């Protein structure tokens, strides 16, 4: 991916991580300038925006970029005026423009082998669209506009740059996920919003190179889904057809889907990866522009159809209808179909029975949240792929909370790494705790109902120390140790935040509290006597025997 593509992906993710007002105010109008030697330079329109992004969002942007690129990233901002657009290609500067939500007809594109067959690659330019005829790109592009009755601009307004990925031909109106537009009403609607815009390279519809079987860590929670996906990849159309992968968010369904896609592409098969939202929009546009025959032709020459988030087609009559026919035609021809969903077919209410029964026809395989050991293995593998050495106790710390999503786990790791890099600090448990404190609750569930005051009083009584001294600055071992035990127990046994604990202990900051916690935590792990001592303090607290 080049800088533009990376930024485009990153910005989409950032959009889901900040509220829309923040996004529009600070992220709109940014674009990628370059990405070299791990330094990612982002163009911003004003110095004010630069200051805001630097102070408030730099870390978030950096961790998102690390996530997208899979490697270390340093972020810089540069204030420059947007390039004056000599051509419409100015919209292809990797900048984000949220106002227009467009959909490209061929988001789910055909696999490389098929693209190769259909479009002569001689001039280095690439296919316009999976349904496009084998004409040179610019002609094909013009042809498409004519086909759809879209007024043409002069040829000079389109300035295709050599791209490593195929540009798509046209942009259409998009309909948000979950919203079905009946075909009838679409046909009657005057077409106002369609427009021709030179389409910038997009990774949508392409397979993510990072999502392969070799980078997928297998554990108890995903064993079946992995084994069946592998079997399907090795024998498409012959075993488990369709394969229905389901489970909660961020648990690797898309990863497996892409893994199957990569294997299919390597075998020279025509693979099409799409999401049900794209499929829906494609159908809507095909109906609108009387291109259903082309749509069908495109889908029926696929060897492996991969559809993500199939649950979203439920209740969308024309989409379900078309998918049903696509399904039958592929299945009859022994072509492989793999779909993912956040729930099993029988739990997708309003899905047509005939589709439900077809989904249940092949094999249903679920993915569950990874358990602790599995989380550790995933984190270790992510560290390897990031080429970052993270101490074992930090990995254990990150893996510790019950984490329902691997995406969250990855985000936590990226954040810790970004935090350490940003502060130029060693990766320690204390640093990880600081980095993650506001992201998700890294504490194990608190079972006691103790308050910080009760812990404080109890610890002082147990060690027979003066509370004033414990709150104060004295550094004698006799005072420091009870103070640290109080930090540890307050963190472990109460619901108080680090800030509250710090304030109960004489106004100490959160890093001091984490340092104390870490010290006691380590001692408990290494010294049986300390473990027993802390257990006794806890016992005294719980029995209120002080």
Which lies closer to ligand ATP via its Cβ, residue 220 or residue 238? 220
Measured from the CB of residue 69, what is the shortest distance to ligand ATP in angstroms?
Answer: 12
Which of 30, 129, 222, 319 contacts ligand ATP by CB under 6 A?
222
Would you say 253 and 225 are in contact if contact means Cβ atoms under 8 Å apart?
yes
User: How many positions of this chain bind ligand ATP (CB under 6 A)?
Assistant: 17
Contact between 378 and ligand ATP by CB under 6 A: the answer reads: yes
CB-CB contact of 275 with 258 (8 Å) = no
Q: How far is the CB of 18 from ligand ATP (least distance, A)?
A: 18
Q: How far is the CB of 264 from ligand ATP (least distance, A)?
A: 17
The contact mask relative to ligand ATP for 153-192 (x = CB under 6 A, - = no) is: ----------------------------------------
User: What are the φ and ψ backbone dihedral angles of 287, each rounded to 5 degrees?
Assistant: -65, -45
Q: Any known ligand binding at 254?
A: yes
CA distance 509 to 498: 8
472 vs 482: CA distance, rounded Å: 12
108 interacts with ligand ATP by CB under 6 A: no
- In the complex, the smallest distance separating the C-beta of residue 75 from ligand ATP, rounded to whole angstroms, is 20
Nearest one of 201, 14, 205, 11 to 91, comparing CA atoms:
201
List, in sequence order, the alpha helices (H) in 23-104.
47-52, 58-69
Cα separation, 382 vs 26, in Å, equals 30
Question: 254 or 318, CB closer to ligand ATP?
Answer: 254
Stretch touching ligand ATP by CB under 6 A, among 11-19, 214-222, 329-337, 452-460: 214-222
The answer to whether 250 is a known ligand-binding residue is yes
Q: How far is the CB of 262 from ligand ATP (least distance, A)?
A: 13
Alpha helix (H) ranges present in 269-405? 276-288, 292-300, 317-332, 353-359, 372-386, 392-399
- What would the two tokens of residue 285 be? 């546009």
Question: CB 285 → ligand ATP: shortest distance, Å?
Answer: 24
Q: Judged by CB under 6 A, does residue 216 bind ligand ATP?
A: yes
Residue 478 per-residue DSSP state: H
Full DSSP string of 173-234: E---TT----HHHHHHS---S-B--PPPP--TTSPPTT--STTPPP-GGGHHHHHHHHHHHH
Residue 444 contacts residue 464 (beta carbons within 8 Å): no
Output the smallest distance, CB 207 to ligand ATP, in A.
Answer: 12
Pattern 253-292, ligand ATP, x by CB under 6 A: xxx-------------------------------------
User: How far is residue 250's CA from residue 411's CA, in Å, rounded to a whole number?
Assistant: 11
Restricting to residues 241-260, which ones interact with ligand ATP according to CB under 6 A? 249-255
The answer for 443, left when phi > 0, alpha when psi is -120 to 50, beta otherwise, is beta
On whether 253 is known to bind a ligand per the annotation, the reply is: yes
Q: Which is nearer to ligand ATP, 70 or 72 (CB)?
A: 70
CB of 246 or CB of 488, closer to ligand ATP? 246
What is the smallest separation between the CB atom of 6 and ligand ATP, expressed in angstroms? 15
Binding segment for ligand ATP among 15-23, 215-223, 235-243, 499-507 (CB under 6 A)? 215-223
Question: Which among 341, 102, 104 has a CA at the least distance from the CA of 206?
Answer: 104
Work out how close the CB of 426 gets to ligand ATP at its nearest, in angstroms, rounded to a whole number: 26
Site string for ligand ATP, 304-343 (x = CB under 6 A): --------------------------------------x-
Q: Which is nearer to ligand ATP, 33 or 378 (CB)?
A: 378
Distance CA 251, CA 404 (A): 8
d(CA 412, CA 252): 16
Nearer to ligand ATP, 111 or 222 (CB): 222
Among 211, 246, 289, 299, binds ligand ATP (CB under 6 A): 211
To which residue do tokens 């910080």 refer?
Answer: 452
> Is residue 364 involved in binding ligand ATP (CB under 6 A)?
no
What residues are paired with 272 via a beta bridge? Answer: 110, 305
Q: Which is nearer to ligand ATP, 249 or 439 (CB)?
A: 249
Number of H helices, E strands in the chain: 23, 10
Question: Cβ of residue 410: shortest distance to ligand ATP, in angstroms?
Answer: 5
* Structural contact between residues 150 and 195, judged by C-beta atoms closer than 8 angstroms: yes
- Asked whether 329 and 323 are in contact (CB, 8 A), the reply is no
Of all residues in the shown chain, the one whose CB is closest to ligand ATP is 252
Residues 398-437 that bind ligand ATP (CB under 6 A): 406-407, 410
DSSP type of residue 23: I
Q: Which residues bind ligand ATP (CB under 6 A)?
A: 211, 215-217, 222, 249-255, 342, 378, 406-407, 410
Annotated binding residues for ATP, as ranges?
250, 252-254
Annotated binding residues, as ranges?
250, 252-254
């Amino acid at each position: 991916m080049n800088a533009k593509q990376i930024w485009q992906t990153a910005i989409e993710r950032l959009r889901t991580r900040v509220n829309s007002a923040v996004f529009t105010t600070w992220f709109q109008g940014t674009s990628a300038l370059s990405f070299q030697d791990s330094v990612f330079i982002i163009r911003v329109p004003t110095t004010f925006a630069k200051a805001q992004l630097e102070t408030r969002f730099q870390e978030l942007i950096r961790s998102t970029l690390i996530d997208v690129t899979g490697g270390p990233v340093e972020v810089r901002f540069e204030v420059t005026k947007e390039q004056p657009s000599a051509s419409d290609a100015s919209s292809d500067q990797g900048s984000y423009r949220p106002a227009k939500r467009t959909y490209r007809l061929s988001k789910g594109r055909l696999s490389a082998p098929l693209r190769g067959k259909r479009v002569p690659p001689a001039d280095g330019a690439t296919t316009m669209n999976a349904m496009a005829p084998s004409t040179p790109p610019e002609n094909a592009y013009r042809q498409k506009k004519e086909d759809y009755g879209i007024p043409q601009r002069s040829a000079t307004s389109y300035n295709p740059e050599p791209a490593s990925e195929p540009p798509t031909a046209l942009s259409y109106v998009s309909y948000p996920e979950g919203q079905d537009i009946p075909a009838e009403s679409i046909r009657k609607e005057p077409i106002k919003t369609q427009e021709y815009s030179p389409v910038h390279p997009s990774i949508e519809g392409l397979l993510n190179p990072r999502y392969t079987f070799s980078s997928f860590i297998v554990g108890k929670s995903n064993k079946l889904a992995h084994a069946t996906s592998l079997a399907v990849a090795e024998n498409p159309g012959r075993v488990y057809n369709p394969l229905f992968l389901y489970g909660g968010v961020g648990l690797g369904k898309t990863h497996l889907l892409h893994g199957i896609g990569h294997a299919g592409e390597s075998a020279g098969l025509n693979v099409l990866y799409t999401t049900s939202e794209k499929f829906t929009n494609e159908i809507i546009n095909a109906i609108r522009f009387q291109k259903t025959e082309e749509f069908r032709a495109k889908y029926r020459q696929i060897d492996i159809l991969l559809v993500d988030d199939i649950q979203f087609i439920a209740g969308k009559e024309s989409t379900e209808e078309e998918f049903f026919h696509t399904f039958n035609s592929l299945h009859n021809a022994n072509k492989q179909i793999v779909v993912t969903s956040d729930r099993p077919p029988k739990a997708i209410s309003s899905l047509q029975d005939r589709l439900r029964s077809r989904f249940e026809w092949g094999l249903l395989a679920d993915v569950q949240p990874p358990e602790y050991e599995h989380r550790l293995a995933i984190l270790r593998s992510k560290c390897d792929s990031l080429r970052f050495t993270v101490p074992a106790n930090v990995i254990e710390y990150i893996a510790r909370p019950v984490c329902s999503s691997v995406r969250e786990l990855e985000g936590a790791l990226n954040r810790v790494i970004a935090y350490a890099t940003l502060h130029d600090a060693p990766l320690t448990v204390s640093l990880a705790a600081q980095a993650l404190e506001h992201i998700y609750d890294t504490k194990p569930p608190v079972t006691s109902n103790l308050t910080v005051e009760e812990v404080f009083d109890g610890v002082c009584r147990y060690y027979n120390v003066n509370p004033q001294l414990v709150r104060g600055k004295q550094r004698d071992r006799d005072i420091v140790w009870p103070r640290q035990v109080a930090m540890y127990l307050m963190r472990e046994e109460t619901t108080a935040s680090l800030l509250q604990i710090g304030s109960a202990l004489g106004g100490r900051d959160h890093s001091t509290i984490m340092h104390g916690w870490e010290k006691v935590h380590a001692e408990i792990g290494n010294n049986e006597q300390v473990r027993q001592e802390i257990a006794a303090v806890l016992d005294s607290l719980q029995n209120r025997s002080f």
